[in-house]
């Protein structure tokens, strides 16, 4: 069973439906016991960085997230669920994150006629072989909605980059932990393929 963490913010229904569509049973939960028993864990997120961190603390979900990552089970962060994994975010900040990965979350620079937030389809470029991109052709397009991006201290965890005025990190991978700035649940065939691979054999 895939546990989708519910901390009161995020597009939980669309993620849940996407996993069901590709044949993987999933549940939306804020129960530490259910998260601990799950075979896979997903941390979604939509909203402001500090509000999400407050909700994670309020619902007692910070320790279960740390334990899930340390356990070695597949863990997927989506959009703000990627950003929260890092040391610090500057949105209304600075504010501490989960500190599972070292680095900062910063706002896109203005200028160059680019609209902020970065919203819509954009190309994702893998910079090393990725299991979750198996069956996804070349530099596929995925759907983004965000004003901030991650700056990892450790360049070796960078999995993909995307161009929007600058080349920013659009996903990371470290052992069992994969997290992406784009929304696979909104990215049609490529996104569903990624979720299908993440969940393993149904």
The CATH number of residue 161's host domain is 3.40.50.880
% of the chain residues with pLDDT over 70: 99
Instruction: Give residue 202's pLDDT.
Output: 53
Range of the domain at 24: 2-199
Crossing angle, helix 12-21 and helix 188-199, to 10 degrees? Answer: 80
Q: Give the total residue count for the chain.
A: 202
C-alpha distances out from residue 34 to 6, 45, 95, 120, Å: 12, 19, 28, 34
| Token pair recorded at residue 97 | 């994150």
| Token pair recorded at residue 45 | 């997120």
Q: Which residues are catalytic?
A: 79, 183, 185
Crossing angle, helix 49-58 and helix 62-71, to 10 degrees? Answer: 90
- Number of domains making up the chain: 1
| Token pair recorded at residue 162 | 């995307």
Please state the pTM of the whole predicted model.
Answer: 0.95
Per-residue pLDDT of 141-160, as tens digits, reads 999 999 999 999 999 999 99
């Amino acid at each position: 069973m895939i546990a989708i963490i519910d901390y009161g913010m995020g597009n939980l229904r669309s993620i849940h439906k996407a996993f069901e569509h590709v044949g993987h049973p999933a549940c939306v939960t804020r129960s530490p016991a259910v998260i601990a028993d799950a075979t896979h864990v997903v941390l979604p997120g939509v909203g402001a960085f500090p509000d999400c961190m407050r909700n994670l603390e309020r619902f007692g979900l910070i320790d279960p997230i740390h334990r899930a990552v340390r356990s070695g089970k597949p863990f997927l962060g989506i959009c703000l669920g990627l950003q929260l994994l890092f040391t610090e975010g500057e949105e209304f900040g600075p504010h501490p994150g989960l500190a599972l990965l070292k680095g900062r979350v910063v706002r896109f620079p203005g200028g160059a006629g680019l609209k902020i937030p970065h919203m819509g389809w954009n190309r994702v470029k893998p910079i090393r072989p990725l299991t979750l991109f198996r069956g996804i052709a070349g530099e596929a397009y995925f759907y983004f909605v965000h004003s901030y991006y991650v700056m990892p201290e450790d360049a070796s965890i960078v999995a993909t980059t995307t161009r929007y005025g600058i080349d920013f990190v659009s996903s990371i991978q470290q052992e069992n932990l994969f997290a992406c700035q784009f929304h696979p649940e909104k990215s049609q065939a490529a996104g569903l393929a990624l979720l299908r691979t993440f969940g393993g054999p149904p």
